[in-house]
Amino acid sequence: MEARYVIENTLVPHTAFEGAMKRIKQCLAHGKMSPEPTCLALVGESGTGKSRALEETESLMPRSRNAEGAIVPILRVRAPARPTVKGVAGLLLQELGDPKSEVGTEISRTKRLFDKLNDCGTQIIMLDEFQHFFDKGTRKIFHDAADWLKILVDQTKVALVVSGLESCLPVIRTNEQLSRRFTAPVFMRRFNWLVESERAEFIGILEAFNASISEHFRVPELNSEEMAFRFWCASGGLIGYLTKHLRQAVWDVCDAEESDITFEHLGAAYDDAIWSAHGTEETVSPFSRSFVVDATQENILAALKVGTREVDQDPAPRSRRRAASAGPSVSHALKSRGA
């Protein structure tokens, strides 16, 4: 394994990730035998591992070719902004190799897509960024595109897995026929340091990364209680931010042609890869020597705000925005500590 890509090549399953993988595999295994198409939603904040779960599933059944053409058992695409029937159909056709994916009416594109899915042996469609089907600014659901998805899975019997922020749930809940086809969503949430089991799992993930990195570099004990808390504060308990942080540190050391990842490297990597996730608020870097390594209310609240800047775009009343900006897990976290 090349040292530069040690983070990308280290997959550390955790409870939520394994639960998501299990449910997706069930869709694959039982979807064709079910009298109705199987639909599943992975829901959670950015950085909780939703896209990685889709990528890992896709790697289990890679594309291939035979005498008749391409075989695409899993078709994974990212939902476009402001999706339309023509747009989504064209995107799926493009990923299936249709040279005329942008040509034709809704009806003609849909017919070609049905034929192409059958020809390619597609068993499951994965649609990432499903929150694009709901416009947060106007509170509008793109009903035409959502209704078309229902028709697509009904006619082709292809399983459907969508992933996105929790704002995608109204798309499913307000469409009676579509919601009936979905099983209960899989919620993938950030790790909460104040919940003992989640803290232990987060430390276990750092232990696995520590083992992989140590094969190439000398590195501080990342999974010590103190270091783990610093990483949790930096990432807000979001695996996506944790991997960005570690990856940046590895890249910096590789570029400098050094063999040690120091505390200072981790601090510089935080500034380059993670700081913007805290928004414009002035925060003390968890990798500063002056950082107080203690689960204070201030540290916990700052960490739980990591990655939540999108709520500032919500046109809801100011009082509701303040409540939302703290994140749904803030009160739970503080209650867990007895604050």
Pairing of strands 140-141, 134-135: antiparallel
Least confident of 68-72, 111-115, 188-192: 68-72
Q: What is the pLDDT of residues 223-247, one digit of tens each?
A: 999 999 999 999 999 999 999 999 9
- Rounded mean pLDDT, 27-44: 82
Global confidence as pTM: 0.82
DSSP state for residue 79 in the 8-state scheme? P
- What's the chain's average pLDDT? 87
Q: What is the distance between the alpha carbons of residues 69 and 325, in angstroms, rounded to a whole number? A: 49
pLDDT of the residue at 125: 96
Q: Which helix (H) or strand (E) holds 170?
A: helix 169-173
- Of residues 336 and 53, more confidence is placed in 53
Is 214 exposed, middle or buried, given 0-12, 13-18 or 19+ CB atoms closer than 10 A? middle
E strand residue ranges, the chain = 39-43, 64-66, 69-71, 74-78, 124-128, 134-135, 140-141, 159-164, 186-187
Q: What is the pLDDT of residues 252-295, one digit of tens each?
A: 999 999 999 999 999 999 999 886 655 545 678 999 989 999 99
Scanning the structure block, which residue is given the tokens 């808390």?
229
Helix, strand, coil percentages in the chain from 3-state DSSP, rounded to 5: 55, 10, 35
What would the two tokens of residue 140 be? 């509008």
Q: What is the pLDDT of residues 313-331, one digit of tens each?
A: 444 443 333 333 334 444 4
Scanning the structure block, which residue is given the tokens 């960490």?
303
Domains and CATH numbers, the chain: 3-187 (3.40.50.300), 196-337 (no CATH)
